[in-house]
A and B are shown apart, each in its own frame.
Chain A
């Protein structure tokens, strides 16, 4: 089973995953949404860290350390960022963090990731506007999304025919052009929210 959800709060995310496990859905992976396997309902402790790794050996070392400590790595990859752990040993501590700074640190890394993606898109967006591949004016004035000559001077049936004919194309055009700025704003917002979580925790 696959579920699509987006979280900016690791505690809420972990609680949701615990609830899913209690309903008999065990998390098996996360790529294009959360993947679950139907099993028997189980009360588990799930915790989430946020890290990316330069080398595969670093990632293996990281997962091994958690496993040594009684936390099994259940989802996440070397580059995925979010790393999901399930408590599998009695002796394991109740949390994967033992101080506030490291618990907060993952929000800082999450925030940095969102901001850096937004910063990567920014010059691309600027370049597309400068080369007129994206008509910035049309994003503010949707009328310019229609290319039919003299469309807005037409009237009656003739207008509606031409207007309705071009509308799907105009929508696709508008959506394509708007996608990049929307993503930039979205990622900056997520980055900012994660940063606020970080500050709230370390205070």
Chain B
């Protein structure tokens, strides 16, 4: 099977997609990513803005209407969910194979 070109996702992209299973604006994404990663991934504003722009281009996320006129709100797309799922499967396999061969 041919692997999706976008795989593997980077750690930050993975957590952003995971955070956007529910609608969120930029700063909320940062907070969620930090929380989801157990404080491991702390993104700065400029880096997050670039990442959002890139994910929009890839159509992994989309802007959704909101009441906040100053902050754009985003949500994961079906394509985004698909890639998230594929990456999960990829990591599952890595964990399985590692546990089988490395940890005895």
> A residues touching B (Cβ–Cβ < 8 Å)?
47, 49, 51, 57-58, 60-62, 64-66, 68-69, 71, 93, 95-99, 102-103, 105-106
Contact = CB atoms under 8 A, between A and B. Distances in A.
B8 interface: no
A102 B47 contact: yes
9 closest residue pairs by CB, A with B: A68-B27, A65-B26, A96-B46, A98-B44, A69-B45, A102-B47, A64-B70, A61-B72, A98-B47
Contact of B45 (A96, A99, A103): A96
A61 B47 contact: no
B27 A69 contact: yes
Contacts of A102: 46-47, 50-51
Nearest to A51: B49
Nearest to A105: B50
Nearest to A60: B70
B49 A62 contact: yes
A67 to B, nearest CB: 9
Interface of B: 12, 25-27, 30, 42-51, 69-72
A188 to B, nearest CB: 26
Given A65-B45, A68-B71, A99-B12, 15 more contacts: A49-B46, A51-B49, A64-B26, A64-B70, A65-B27, A65-B49, A66-B46, A69-B30, A69-B44, A96-B44, A98-B42, A98-B43, A99-B47, A102-B46, A103-B47
A108 B50 CA distance: 13
A58 B49 CA distance: 11
Contacts of A95: 44
B50 to A, nearest CB: 5
Contacts of B30: 69
Given A102-B50, A105-B50, A65 B71 contact: yes
A106 B46 CA distance: 10
Contacts of A64: 26, 70-71
B58 to A, nearest CB: 15
A200 B48 CA distance: 22
Contacts of A66: 45-46
- Name the residue in B44, B48, B50 with the highest tally of chain A Cβ atoms < 10 Å from its Cβ: B44
A138 B73 CA distance: 58
Nearest to A48: B46
22 contacts: A60-B70, A61-B71, A64-B70, A64-B71, A65-B25, A65-B71, A68-B26, A68-B45, A69-B27, A69-B30, A71-B45, A95-B44, A97-B46, A98-B42, A98-B43, A98-B44, A99-B12, A99-B47, A102-B46, A102-B47, A102-B50, A106-B46
Nearest to B51: A102
A93 B42 contact: yes
A85 to B, nearest CB: 8
